[in-house]
Structure 1
Amino acid sequence: MWWILAAAAAVALCHWLLKRPHKYWIEKGVKQGRPIFLFGDSWEQLSQKQSHPEMVQMVYNMCPNTRYSGFYQAFLPTLLVKDPDLIKQITVKDFDHFVDHQRFVPEDSDPLWSNNLFALNGKRWREMRATLSPAFTSSKMKYMFSLISQSGEQFVNYFLKKNEDVITVEMKDTFTRFANDVIANTAFGVECDSLVDRDNEFYLMGKEATDFGNFWKILKFVLYAVTPKLADIFKVRFFSKEVSDFFTNVVTTNIRSREKHGVVRPDMIHLLLEARKNGLKHEDSHPIQDTGFATVEEHDFTKNAKKIEREITDQDIASQALIFFFAGFDTVSSLMSLMSYELAINPDVQDKLLQEVDDTFEACGGKITYEGLLGMKYMDMVVSESLRKWPNAVATDRMCTKPYTIQPKHPDEKPVHVEKENCIWIPVFAIHRDPKYYPEPERFDPERFSDENKANIKPYTYLPFGIGPRNCIGSRFALLETKILFFYILSHFRIVTIEKTPIPLALCKKQFNLNAKDGYWLGLKRRNLRTK
């Protein structure tokens, strides 16, 4: 009989120990929902009953009328910050308490991942950001404009050759191939045409690197989250050896060739090599034209930080080029897919944009210029609203790097002591769809970003590229790439719905990244206004 009692006591103790972590925020006086045993607030997403954006929206709505609330990623207590003023306080004013992202890959398990700007922490991140940020200014985007434009022309010419009035296209696959070619060209110095050569090695490696629906990739994420020390012991790599070797070899071979033959191209490798050789300097003044309303500015925190004192290695360059590829391959193609979908189901918006494209085409003499593109106000409004309704970074995180106290502001609050290594989430997707900030948030309305209306947008409620010193370094590039491609498409085609177009759009629950359940099936209808 004693062993039955002992077993029952052991089970009860285990249950108590496993349930106790889900009382973390209650004990700190922070409101929370009703986390599920073992899985916290992640069960619906883990069981593929809920997409990642839907999960973010759920935890945002769990505790209404609060500046912040607690939730749990399995056992990890996470503080959801919802109040714009508090977001500013944490991400900008008191940034030195929240410098790092949550590390989900052990530092030494995959050097190619661990050395990239997104994964670096602390002093190493500050130095790398200060070193790289001058390569992403407006003048550097103008420097790379010709390469991106070249890819845009190549893209539209592929479809102009088709003898069809309405060409059926799955936009995500198609735009991913375009993004692949742009990044191969601008970041790695490799020219591709993935619409023609559909199985080129660069595209296949990129697809493997960004496949988050893969069972083994999901298993790695679980292992990183649940037992990071075990993942570290067994050196579980984020990227497969094949992917790592491919991209590393592309970069190192390219560097050796340039150094040997004195090759100079207007691309990212050249800028990184210049940073290694001479260093790059920030522009002293803001450009008259920038890539758009959504562009994030570099903060003085990183502008004034010390650059890397040691030599930038080939490995460093390969890591930065790969994260640039990693981010652009999926996120930019998702933005393009969702923007094309919104234009197709909102023909009145597309009509206005088509008129601006035609006017710009004529003003530029049939050849788009950097200045002509950035002068397209309605284009910027459409892109800005696409990022408002469909931000790719549905949430952004920060890790507390030194203890911090959130002071009470309302009668029902008390000081919240945020401990070192506590995780903070900023729910971008949900904030962008909060009717307090954006009336009728489900409606696609570019007029929110007109000259008359954009001044009314409450600060720190529009965060498509993050916020504070740790914002997305590539915002200018993503905006420029998107605008160039849509200029070329709309110069020759109207984007239309077809029988296979899913209306309304349902989000995929089987992938972590933002994607449509049934694909983005649309038609390109030839306008017949001009020939090549």
Structure 2
Amino acid sequence: MLWIFLAIIATALLYYFTVKPLKYWTKLGVKQGNPTPFFGDNWATFWKKESFAEFTKHVYDQVPNVRYSGFYQFSIPTLLLKDPELIKQITVKDFDHFLDHRTFIPEESDPLWGKNLFSLKGQRWRDMRATLSPSFTSSKMKFMFSLMADAAHDFVQHFKNKNEKIVTVEMKDTCTRYTNDVIATTAFGVKVDSLKERDNEFYLMGKEATDFSGIIKNLKFFGYMSVPWLFKIFSISLFSKEVSAFFRGLISDTIRTREEKHIVRNDMINLLMEARKGNIQKQDDESTSVDTGFATVKESDVGKAKVQKHLTDEDITAQALIFFFAGFDTVAGIMCFMAYELGVSQEIQDRLREEIEDTMRESNGKLTYENLLKMKYMDMVVAETLRKWPVAIAVDRICTKPYTIEPQTPEEKPLSLEKNTVVWLPIFGIHRDPKFYPEPEKFDPERFSDENKDKIVPYTYIPFGAGPRNCIGSRFAILEIKVLFYHILSNFKIIPVEKTTIPLKISKKSFNLMADEGFWFGLERLEK
């Protein structure tokens, strides 16, 4: 009898913790798919049967013809937004109800993650956003442009020095070395050449911090999502001790050296040091500036509020590390997909090169910041790359106070969201919805021509997120991409080689958007 009783108890507990939570949306009258006990809708990604991008498209498509639907990240109910007006309502108009991201890693477990801009909540996030915003204005980008151009020149020169007609490269490895060098010089004031010094510590630490292909990192990620309380108890951090120690030491030494020698450098660390002293300058006026492109997000009034003054060295390290974390791998990923699309679409590449050559003549061979940003076709190609391959596959928001989504169709009824409800912006799904983008699998820069870009429905193009909590580094990322491809295409043609996989297959092993067998292409030297 005891065994029967224990079996009944075990079955009841199993139902309560693994099955009952998956009925959450159904009880609220929200349509959902067919989640699996414990895994929710994540079973295929957990077992590496589909990539995170494919998972996002799957949950986006599983309930058609609705403004929103429900799905489950393991046992966590998540509301997926599909309607552009609803996305605007939640991310902009009613932003105060959806101010925060979901807690991914508790601050107690990993302070360098918990204290960065992405993870901060409420007023702490507002203060830090206002503190960092002046680092990413057009005037700051103009200063960083020359540093990026130097890194891009060194990048191209490295391959020109090989004196080979065609140099075969794996673009992910190559582009991360470029983004590493750009971040090192623009944010940390460190000069490195990662193509020459392949094992420099700055690059190796960046590789370690952003690599999500290993079993340990993946187990950590799924653990944070499924049993965050357990990971909090054991203070399991995302970054290794080596990575944390390296960046803490780098920032600490940089701050001490600059203070002792009165070094002033127009970069992020200097800005945060000045903010700590209360010397931060008011954000410059962007109203008359030439912006970096169609995909550039606009800063809200949050970024113009009062800045944070009580900053510790760890606060500064956390911001520098998240900037490195985002820029090292994410921007390099965008470059890889752009190289792929240009490599398999030679007519698009040739047209872009013609614009580059026209710009070279206009600049008398010396590229300027203003002339780069006037390149319309370059911007169209970058915008379409970000449409088809948004490396920010999805972003979330947390309902910070009770909120009701009012019905707009006869099938809907008022939906009351409790505090801490997770809301999702499925960027990859929206960008590949044929309702918004006909032939979504086709790479077509003409979608963003002067004649067509006004036809794009607002809030269906959100590669850097939406609302005040969008990505602060969009200007930086877009400029960095344009600078590199200007220099590459003025010297080389990107061509497929024997190891190139066409069509590209998304890797199911990596959480990040990545090609299954890498991005192998040839750089064919142009005859001048």
How far does residue 283 in structure 1 lie from its aligned partner after superposition? 2.1
Deviations 1:117-151 (A, max 9, x none): 00101110011001111211111111211111110
More deviation in 260-269 or 447-456? 260-269
Partner amino acid, structure 1, of 2:117: L
In structure 1, stretches of 5+ residues that fail to align are none
**Would you say the 8 A contact 2:395–2:426 is kept in 1?**
yes
More deviation in 221-230 or 160-169? 221-230
Partner amino acid, structure 2, of 1:294: A
Partner of 2:21: 21
Cα distance in 2 between the residues matched to 1:136 and 1:286: 14
**Would you say the 8 A contact 1:131–1:280 is kept in 2?**
no
Partner of 1:516: 515
Cα distance in 1 between the residues matched to 2:256 and 2:11: 63
Partner amino acid, structure 2, of 1:269: I
**Would you say the 8 A contact 1:135–1:272 is kept in 2?**
no
Partner of 2:102: 102
Partner of 1:472: 471
Cα distance in 1 between the residues matched to 2:310 and 2:94: 31
Partner amino acid, structure 1, of 2:458: P
Cα distance in 1 between the residues matched to 2:117 and 2:261: 29
How far does residue 102 in structure 1 lie from its aligned partner after superposition? 0.8
Cα distance in 1 between the residues matched to 2:286 and 2:87: 27
How far does residue 285 in structure 1 lie from its aligned partner after superposition? 4.0
How far does residue 367 in structure 1 lie from its aligned partner after superposition? 1.2
Matched, 1:216 2:249: no
Partner of 2:155: 155
**Would you say the 8 A contact 1:248–1:315 is kept in 2?**
yes
Deviations 1:190-222 (A, max 9, x none): 111111111111111111111111222222223
Cα distance in 1 between the residues matched to 2:497 and 2:487: 21
Partner of 2:35: 35
**Would you say the 8 A contact 2:135–2:267 is kept in 1?**
no
Cα distance in 2 between the residues matched to 1:504 and 1:160: 28
Deviations 1:52-89 (A, max 9, x none): 01000000011100000000011000000100000000
Distance change in 2, residues 1:75/1:498 (3 Å): same
**Would you say the 8 A contact 1:361–1:367 is kept in 2?**
yes
- State the SS of the aligned residue for 1:476: helix
Matched, 1:261 2:261: yes
Partner amino acid, structure 2, of 1:107: E
How far does residue 242 in structure 1 lie from its aligned partner after superposition? 1.1
- State the SS of the aligned residue for 2:162: coil
**Would you say the 8 A contact 1:268–1:321 is kept in 2?**
yes
Partner of 1:399: 398
- State the SS of the aligned residue for 1:244: helix
How far does residue 282 in structure 1 lie from its aligned partner after superposition? 1.8
**Would you say the 8 A contact 1:138–1:287 is kept in 2?**
no
Cα distance in 1 between the residues matched to 2:423 and 2:433: 20
How far does residue 314 in structure 1 lie from its aligned partner after superposition? 1.9
How far does residue 4 in structure 1 lie from its aligned partner after superposition? 4.2
- State the SS of the aligned residue for 2:58: helix
Cα distance in 1 between the residues matched to 2:482 and 2:137: 17
Partner amino acid, structure 1, of 2:175: F
How far does residue 25 in structure 1 lie from its aligned partner after superposition? 0.2
Alignment of 1:138-177 (within 5 A): 138-177=138-177
Cα distance in 2 between the residues matched to 1:495 and 1:33: 42
Cα distance in 2 between the residues matched to 1:302 and 1:155: 34
Alignment of 1:443-522 (within 5 A): 443-522=442-521
**Would you say the 8 A contact 1:289–1:374 is kept in 2?**
yes
Partner of 2:49: 49
Cα distance in 1 between the residues matched to 2:224 and 2:451: 47
- State the SS of the aligned residue for 1:31: coil
Cα distance in 1 between the residues matched to 2:272 and 2:475: 17
- State the SS of the aligned residue for 1:243: helix
Partner of 1:189: 189
Partner of 2:9: 10
Deviations 1:504-529 (A, max 9, x none): 10000011110000100001010022
How far does residue 271 in structure 1 lie from its aligned partner after superposition? 2.6
Cα distance in 1 between the residues matched to 2:222 and 2:521: 35
**Would you say the 8 A contact 1:60–1:80 is kept in 2?**
yes
TM-score, structure 2 normalization: 0.98
- State the SS of the aligned residue for 2:490: helix
**Would you say the 8 A contact 2:138–2:289 is kept in 1?**
no
Cα distance in 2 between the residues matched to 1:128 and 1:383: 29
- State the SS of the aligned residue for 1:91: helix
- State the SS of the aligned residue for 2:500: coil
Partner amino acid, structure 1, of 2:462: L
**Would you say the 8 A contact 1:132–1:275 is kept in 2?**
no
**Would you say the 8 A contact 1:106–1:224 is kept in 2?**
no
In structure 2, stretches of 5+ residues that fail to align are none
**Sequence identity percentage:** 60
**Would you say the 8 A contact 2:60–2:429 is kept in 1?**
yes
Deviations 1:247-294 (A, max 9, x none): 111111112112222223333222333333311312234233110000
Aligned residue pairs: how many? 526
Cα distance in 1 between the residues matched to 2:50 and 2:475: 32
- State the SS of the aligned residue for 2:71: strand
Partner of 1:311: 310
Partner amino acid, structure 1, of 2:333: S
Partner of 1:252: 252
- State the SS of the aligned residue for 1:79: strand
How far does residue 479 in structure 1 lie from its aligned partner after superposition? 0.4
TM-score, structure 1 normalization: 0.97
Partner amino acid, structure 2, of 1:347: Q
Partner amino acid, structure 2, of 1:101: H
Cα distance in 2 between the residues matched to 1:519 and 1:184: 25
Partner of 2:198: 198
How far does residue 115 in structure 1 lie from its aligned partner after superposition? 1.2
Cα distance in 1 between the residues matched to 2:171 and 2:116: 29
- State the SS of the aligned residue for 1:435: coil
Cα distance in 1 between the residues matched to 2:451 and 2:385: 19
Matched, 1:325 2:324: yes
Matched, 1:431 2:436: no
Cα distance in 1 between the residues matched to 2:340 and 2:500: 9
How far does residue 372 in structure 1 lie from its aligned partner after superposition? 1.0
Cα distance in 1 between the residues matched to 2:406 and 2:476: 38
Cα distance in 1 between the residues matched to 2:286 and 2:132: 18
Matched, 1:441 2:450: no
Partner amino acid, structure 2, of 1:288: S
Partner amino acid, structure 2, of 1:409: Q
Cα distance in 1 between the residues matched to 2:446 and 2:380: 7
**Would you say the 8 A contact 2:101–2:397 is kept in 1?**
yes
**Would you say the 8 A contact 2:129–2:302 is kept in 1?**
no
Partner of 2:69: 69
Cα distance in 2 between the residues matched to 1:342 and 1:90: 34
Cα distance in 2 between the residues matched to 1:156 and 1:430: 35
How far does residue 298 in structure 1 lie from its aligned partner after superposition? 0.5
Cα distance in 2 between the residues matched to 1:230 and 1:34: 27
